[in-house]
A and B are shown apart, each in its own frame.
Chain A
């Protein structure tokens, strides 16, 4: 019984980590552009596939030790996924922004980009699922009498580390300052000698890189890949970001873990088919009580 509860908590933390890592990307882009990048869930899927191809290639390349392959895949997946995110920004969002297009059209463009990623994957690689190769042997580690698999622990630790790093970047570095500033007043950014496009590209690279990392970790934990794997998890992470208060990275973290816990607890007490119904109902209730999300503040009216 006790062990079951502990396992549930670790599962919740693990899923919360996935949701948080993806939610951070929604949050960063929203903070800078006030745009919900609905393609983001599919960028996560692309990250998982990129990790899959990299792993398969490196495993096929010969006798590289598994730890080295993993050490190579993590940065490579993040960099390549960043490039995908930046390319979407360049090809799809930037031209609309230059023309001063209404937000609605940009959001619809984002949805289309997501669908294009899904269906390009389907068209090129077919509908068959792929299984991610085993890079790390699953082992159970004991922490003060609690047993947890090494992979689960790694996912949770990585999510927290990423959050701490991101918090540091945003609060302490000049580019972080510029990201906060641009969300307050985009007009004044070039007057500071800062090219706004640089900030936007950096934000997309960062958010997509984190989605790539999430994709890799997810594929290692649940090694079955299909073109639609990013859709549902992307929606959920988006909702987690909104519940946390979109635009606030603390909100993305808390929202992600909250969703993880609500889901796992729902399954613990109800039939598993009730999971999403219960989870979304609870999130709806939170938004009903606090429409700006847990950490969100309504924006100050500018004079």
Chain B
């Protein structure tokens, strides 16, 4: 199993945000985590990335494993660099004062000198041709959709094989959203494992193979996408009837 989360409890300060969640993601899967605002979706992703408190949650109990090995003691930069897991954070968090190209270059900071960076750059530019057109532009001048593409391109440049996406469709026009999901589908067909956090549950479940439903820090339902899409309880609470 690529990722296993076992009975994870996580706190922000003294407030418990996750009350023992367990989930797993297999190699090559697309798994989605759905739930309302404040359910603990971002908290889960930040815990997996081992982002440091106080901005990120502190793991209190439970375990997170990548390919069977606990990563609790591994710092974020090594989760990215050595375990090849990347997070595309909520709100994109691109470096607005850097150009598009500099953002992409920075993500190769820790990579091997002899890696084929040109090929990876080609891949990103093929997936998102708009980025190629705007490579010299200061990235805070990009549109929201382009910024999201840059955030994904940046993750790809870090040489990841497992990508965590936090609300990638937030604030995007429907057409751009389709473009983005198409790109993610392509990535998955080339072997990328994806864990997707979305508020738009219907879109997410149609895209993913499996899903988990989070509610106030606990997993309340899980199963294949078809199963969840047809679950009366999930339908009522998350799919608008």
Task: Mark A residues whose CB is within 8 Å of B.
Answer: 100, 174, 177-178, 180-181, 183-185, 187-188, 190-196, 300, 302-303
Contacts and interface: CB of A to CB of B under 8 A. Distances in A.
Contacts of B80: 190-193
Contacts of B116: none
Interface residues of B, number: 32
A196 B51 CA distance: 12
Given A191-B49, A191-B76, A193-B80, A184 B97 contact: yes
B55 A184 contact: no
Interface in B59-96: 75-78, 80-81, 86-87, 89, 91, 93-96
B76 A178 contact: no
A181 B98 contact: yes
B154 interface: yes
B111 to A, nearest CB: 7
A95 to B, nearest CB: 14
B95 A184 contact: yes
A188 B94 CA distance: 8
Given A177-B106, A181-B106, A193 B95 contact: no
Interface string B169-193: 0000000000000000000000000
Contacts of A193: 77-78, 80-81, 107, 109-111, 158
Contact of A190 (B77, B102, B111, B154): B77
B95 A195 contact: no
Contacts of A194: 77, 106, 109-110
18 contacts: A174-B105, A178-B106, A181-B106, A184-B97, A185-B93, A187-B55, A187-B89, A188-B95, A191-B76, A191-B80, A191-B89, A192-B154, A193-B111, A194-B106, A195-B75, A196-B77, A302-B96, A303-B91
B222 interface: no
Interface in B35-66: 49, 51-55
A100 B12 CA distance: 13
Given A192-B107, A193-B107, A193-B111, A177 B89 contact: no
Contact of B86 (A184, A191, A300): A191
A167 to B, nearest CB: 15
Nearest to B13: A100
Contacts of B107: 192-193
B215 interface: no
Contact of B98 (A100, A177, A187, A302): A177
Contacts of B91: 303
Interface in B110-128: 110-111
A188 B89 contact: yes
A203 B105 CA distance: 20
With most chain B CB atoms within 10 A of its CB, the pick from A100, A191, A303 is A191
B7 interface: no
Interface in B17-49: 49
A183 B97 contact: yes
A85 B109 CA distance: 25
Given A100-B54, A180-B98, A190 B109 contact: no
B16 interface: no
Contacts of B154: 192
A195 B97 contact: no
B6 interface: no
Contacts of A183: 97
Contact of A181 (B53, B89, B95): B95
Contact of A177 (B77, B102, B158): B102
| Central interface residue in B86, B102, B109, by most chain A CB within 10 Å | B109
B90 to A, nearest CB: 11
A187 B42 CA distance: 14
Contacts of A187: 51, 55, 89, 93
A92 to B, nearest CB: 19
A184 B95 CA distance: 6
B96 A300 contact: yes
B197 to A, nearest CB: 15
Given A185-B95, A191-B76, A191-B80, 18 more contacts: A174-B105, A178-B106, A180-B95, A180-B98, A183-B97, A184-B95, A184-B98, A185-B93, A188-B94, A188-B95, A190-B80, A192-B107, A192-B154, A192-B158, A193-B107, A193-B111, A194-B106, A194-B109
B109 A174 contact: yes
A196 B110 CA distance: 12
